[in-house]
């Protein structure tokens, strides 16, 4: 029986959006893969009548307007992944505001509404960017999903469950991605290489554990995860594994989850699951 609601999220970016390794020149249109890959995900969601949250990169939406229109037409939530896929700690607050504004304008034009949520590229919100939540709240965002309790790229001591953040201009929900605690630290079972690598039974166990404690699990996917024949950037071995490795069955893995658990958008979770929770930060 599927009683509890979780969130499935998709970072809408192309195969070459790998932080720190993105090509410095424009990738020709003939090499874009985003439309077909997003379509594969949408067809699966349509089959299960599940709505998901799509964090759209503004620069991708601007040159591929049909992608956002198709996502919005399916009743999914369109949220913001920023404009340029820059790490947030490499931006100034003014540049961050500008990225948000440009992406908001494109989403408003294509989906018909302003995004309620934001996700930073590569979980790059941390104590190095203390202004992020203030700026998001000031611009009317309802939630953020940019802080990961992972070693190395996140804050390994960070919360594994959603919580509220008090910002100067209001309160935001923060939705960390699903991780699985182990003796070696939290493992990224909720998305990326971890979602493609760890046994599906472990991922499902981790979702079930969170749900049993009354908390939703947030999973994430990239279009390149479901594009096994897509091109690859030339990357160092570990980075290559993280971006592209072991990716052949990502879509069947999502199907297994859809068979076993209920999913909705982050905006819905923010509205109903956490409405009565106490502020943590």
Nearer Cβ to Zn ion, position 115 or 211?
Answer: 115
Say how far apart CA 71 and CA 188 lie, in whole Å: 26
Nearer Cβ to Zn ion, position 121 or 188?
Answer: 121
Distance in Å, CB of 132 to Zn ion, minimum:
16
Nearer Cβ to Zn ion, position 119 or 253?
Answer: 119
Say how far apart CA 28 and CA 31 lie, in whole Å: 6
Nearer Cβ to Zn ion, position 123 or 163?
Answer: 123
Contact 4, 217 (CB under 8 A): no
Say how far apart CA 88 and CA 126 lie, in whole Å: 9
Distance in Å, CB of 92 to Zn ion, minimum:
20
Say how far apart CA 41 and CA 185 lie, in whole Å: 30
Q: Which long-range contacts (CB under 8 A, 24 or more apart) does 62-69 make?
A: 62/106, 64/32, 64/34, 64/35, 65/110, 66/35, 67/12, 67/34, 67/35, 67/38, 68/106, 68/107, 68/110, 68/111, 69/110, 69/111
Give the total residue count for the chain: 281
Distance in Å, CB of 168 to Zn ion, minimum:
27
Distance in Å, CB of 161 to Zn ion, minimum:
23
| Buried-exposed string 176-205: b where 16+ CB fall within 10 A, e elsewhere | bbbbbeeeeebbbbbbbbbbbbbebeebbe
CA within 13 Å, CB half, 14: 26
Distance in Å, CB of 84 to Zn ion, minimum:
11
Six-digit token pair at 221? 């996917």
Distance in Å, CB of 117 to Zn ion, minimum:
14
Task: Give Cβ neighbours of residue 78 (< 8 Å, ≥ 6 apart).
Answer: 54, 56, 68, 71, 72, 107, 110, 111, 113, 115
Nearer Cβ to Zn ion, position 13 or 77?
Answer: 13
Site residues for Zn ion per CB under 5 A? 11, 13, 121
Distance in Å, CB of 166 to Zn ion, minimum:
27
């Amino acid at each position: 029986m599927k009683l509890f609601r979780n969130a499935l999220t998709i970072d809408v970016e192309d195969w070459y959006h790998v932080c720190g390794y993105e090509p410095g020149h424009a990738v020709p249109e003939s090499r874009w893969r985003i439309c077909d890959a997003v379509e594969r995900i949408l067809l699966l969601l349509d089959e299960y009548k599940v709505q998901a949250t799509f964090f759209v990169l503004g620069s991708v939406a601007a040159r591929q307007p049909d992608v956002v229109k198709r996502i919005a037409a399916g009743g999914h939530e369109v949220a913001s992944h920023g404009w340029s896929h820059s790490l947030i700690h490499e931006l100034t607050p003014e540049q961050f505001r500008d990225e948000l504004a440009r992406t908001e304008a494109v989403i408003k034009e294509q989906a018909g509404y302003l995004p309620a949520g934001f996700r930073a590229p590569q979980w790059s919100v941390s104590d190095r960017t203390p202004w992020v939540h203030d700026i998001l709240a000031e611009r009317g965002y309802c939630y953020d999903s940019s802080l990961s309790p992972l070693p190395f790229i996140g804050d390994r001591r960070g919360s594994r469950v959603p919580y509220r953040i008090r910002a100067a201009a209001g309160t935001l929900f923060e939705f960390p991605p699903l991780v699985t605690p182990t003796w070696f630290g939290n493992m990224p079972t909720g998305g990326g290489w971890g979602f493609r690598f760890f046994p599906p039974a472990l991922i499902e166990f981790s979702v079930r554990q969170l749900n049993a404690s009354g908390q939703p699990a947030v999973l994430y996917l990239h279009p390149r995860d479901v594009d096994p024949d897509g091109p690859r950037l030339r990357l160092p071995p570990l980075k290559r594994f993280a971006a592209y490795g072991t990716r052949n069955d990502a879509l069947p893995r999502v199907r297994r989850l859809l068979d076993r658990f209920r999913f909705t958008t982050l905006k819905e979770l923010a509205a109903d699951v956490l409405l009565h929770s106490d502020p943590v930060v």
